[in-house]
Amino acid sequence: MKPDTFQKIDKVIHEKVRLAIVSLLAASPELSFTELRDNLNLTDGNLCIQLRTLQQAGYIAVTKTFENRRPRSTCALTAKGRQAFASYIGILEEIVKQNRPN
Amino acid sequence: MNTNLAEENLSLIRTLMERATVYRRALAPIMITTGVIGTTASVFGMLGKLAASLQFLACWAGAAAVALLAGFALARREALQEREAFWSPPTRRVALALLPAGAAGVIAACVETDPTQLAGWWLLIYAVGLHGAGFFMPSGVRRLSWLFLLAGGVALGWKNSCSPHVVMGLGFGGLHLVYGIYLYATRARQTSL
């Protein structure tokens, strides 16, 4: 693998749990906090930490609303997050291609 | 990062993206409820001797309406409990995939006057719709749709040798019930692991 390929890897997305969160959000316009938590078998605390990191990087937007007087948090990928995710997949594909025997 | 890890991550991404599009809400209770409604309608139709075409149609249109309302109520209840949007993208996909089959069922009811034949056509049409919707649901739903297809084929082939209410009871009642019980059993096993 070329050394610069590794340098290009986005460390925010590369972490396993965050990668899983971004992958789920990439396939859906938005997902609620509970949907993410149950899909990935995470604790509330762990999910909160990972969401905060993604939010700080500008990759996701968290919306807080009330439905039937109950608070509801929904997460969605931002344009920046979608772009970062696409680049990350591109790098993974590049790594696989570089090391595939001809 | 080595090639194996890159491939592993790509595979994880693919699996998770597929999972995000799958409808899972209240599937077992919906299947059981639909099964119970189907079986009850079948017993009601036989005991009430609703053999005429219009009577058969009224009985099963009523059962379908009750099953539809119950399904919506169960899905909505779970959505509220889980603090999720009811009309989520997977729900929308499943509903849209089933819509043409619903329309075809109405057309079949307008065209076919023989209740036994109509029961067979309904099972076939439902099987096709369920198979289409099954791409947005757990894979077991697509296997269930093949059983509906088989049941519809048998019902059409047997012609008048069996009461249409029995066909509908075994098809819509029995198959939904069996699948609902299977879902409950496998969910309990998954939880205990």
Which of A24, A71, A95 lies nearest to residue B20, judging by beta carbons? A24
Nearest chain A Cα distance for residue B16, angstroms: 6
Burial B165-189 (b: 16+ CB within 10 A, else e): bbbbbbbbbbbbbebbeebeeeeee
In a domain, B4, yes or no: no
In a domain, B48, yes or no: yes
Angstrom distance (rounded) from CA B90 to CA B92: 5
In a domain, B7, yes or no: no
- Domain with A23 in it: what CATH number? 1.10.10.10
In a domain, A47, yes or no: yes
The pLDDT, as a whole number, for residue A5 is 66
Identify the closest residue of chain A to B19 by CA–CA distance.
A24
The pLDDT, as a whole number, for residue B125 is 97
Range of the domain at A88: 3-93
In a domain, B97, yes or no: yes
pLDDT means per 10 residues in chain B (193 residues)?
82 83 83 96 92 92 95 88 76 91 95 91 96 88 94 86 89 94 74 38
The pLDDT, as a whole number, for residue A85 is 93
In a domain, A99, yes or no: no
Task: List strands edge to edge, sheet with A31-32.
Answer: A31-32, A70-77, A60-67
Which of B9, B18, B80 lies nearest to residue A92, judging by beta carbons? B9
Phi-psi region of A94 (alpha: psi -120 to 50; beta: other; left: phi over 0): alpha
Do residue A1 and residue B82 have CB atoms under 8 angstroms apart? no
In a domain, B18, yes or no: no
Looking at the predicted complex, does its ipTM rise above 0.90?
no
Number of domains comprising chain A:
1
In a domain, A42, yes or no: yes
The pLDDT, as a whole number, for residue B192 is 40
The pLDDT, as a whole number, for residue A101 is 66
In a domain, B146, yes or no: yes
Identify the closest residue of chain A to B13 by CA–CA distance.
A23
SS3 call for A58: coil
**A with B: how many residue pairs have Cβ under 8 Å apart?**
78
Do residue B1 and residue A9 have CB atoms under 8 angstroms apart? yes
Do residue B20 and residue A34 have CB atoms under 8 angstroms apart? no
The pLDDT, as a whole number, for residue B193 is 34
In a domain, A100, yes or no: no
Q: What is the pTM of this model?
A: 0.69
In a domain, B10, yes or no: no
Do residue B83 and residue A72 have CB atoms under 8 angstroms apart? yes
Q: pLDDT tens, B157-179?
A: 887 678 899 999 999 999 999 99
Identify the closest residue of chain A to B14 by CA–CA distance.
A23
Number of domains comprising chain B:
1
Q: pLDDT tens, A23-74?
A: 999 988 788 888 888 888 899 999 999 999 999 999 999 998 876 677 778 8
